[in-house]
Structure 1
Amino acid sequence: MLPIGYVAHRTGHRVRLRIPAHKGDTSYFARIERELAACERVSYVEANPLTASILLHYNGTDDDLRHDAVALGLFDIEALQPAANPVLSAAATRIDQIDRVIRRASNGSFDLLEVAFVGLIGASIVQALRGQALGPASTLMANALAILALHRARRTGR
């Protein structure tokens, strides 16, 4: 059975594929580069085993690409992307739970965004007082201002 590849994105003749099952497999991706470079519809191919991706300049449809890849015995292509990273989903769920706890504890007066804003402002002041105004203090202040901009955008519905 061939490994499954996914079209991560396509713009014109530029196609990026992902083959997560072979992430880190340098010999597999070297073979893909070699075999696809010989394909008449491919004008450029670059494989990256560290990211499990292949960048192609391909003169054909996704169906043509699937046919060529299967015929060469390299991979099959599925239309759907793999499921979102479960670690990020779990972290987002946990952060949402923390936000609900803060809202409940403050009777709706505060949320996680406001707590983060106040914390960043406080940390920025501490760093400025320590003489770190250009490095840590300015970065913390910039992050606090980004939160403020997000809050304003939510409040105005933009």
Structure 2
Amino acid sequence: MRKGVTEDKAVVADILDKAEVVWLALNDDEGPHCVPVNFAVQGDTLFVHSGKRGRKAACLDSGAAMAFSAAVDIELKTSDDNACELGYRFRSVMGNGTPRPLDGDEKLRALDLITLKYAGRSMPYNEKVLAITAAYAIDIRSATARIKE
């Protein structure tokens, strides 16, 4: 395995817990589609939400394999001497999985996890907005973390 890369689930979980955004790499008949989303993770499952219509929702509804990534602790490395020494320090996760739509209590549980991650507490939902909101579980097949110092 490449230097600085690990499959250690504790390292992957730590990075995902600290990440503010996860980038979904999706694909459809129009080609690749990459989109940043709010998310929550629990165990080997990533939870995201979407409107019920649109390209992102269609890709997730398809159940097709997809990928995701996130990065934290991003810090520019500078150099006055050599352009090859420029770069970044970071911790990142890259993974892949299979999305599945959620409904009923599973949907509410996913939305509650996402709300808890960003608001730090449970909050009520606007029923009109809830009716046009989809939630998805992405069952993580594999994920690796990279630590670049």
Verify same fold: TM over 0.5.
no
The structure whose residues are more often helix, as a share, is 1
TM-score range relative to shorter protein: under 0.3
Q: Which has the higher contact order (CA 8 A, sep 6+)?
A: 2
Structure with larger Rg: 1
TM-score, normalization: structure 1?
0.26
TM-score, normalization: structure 2?
0.28
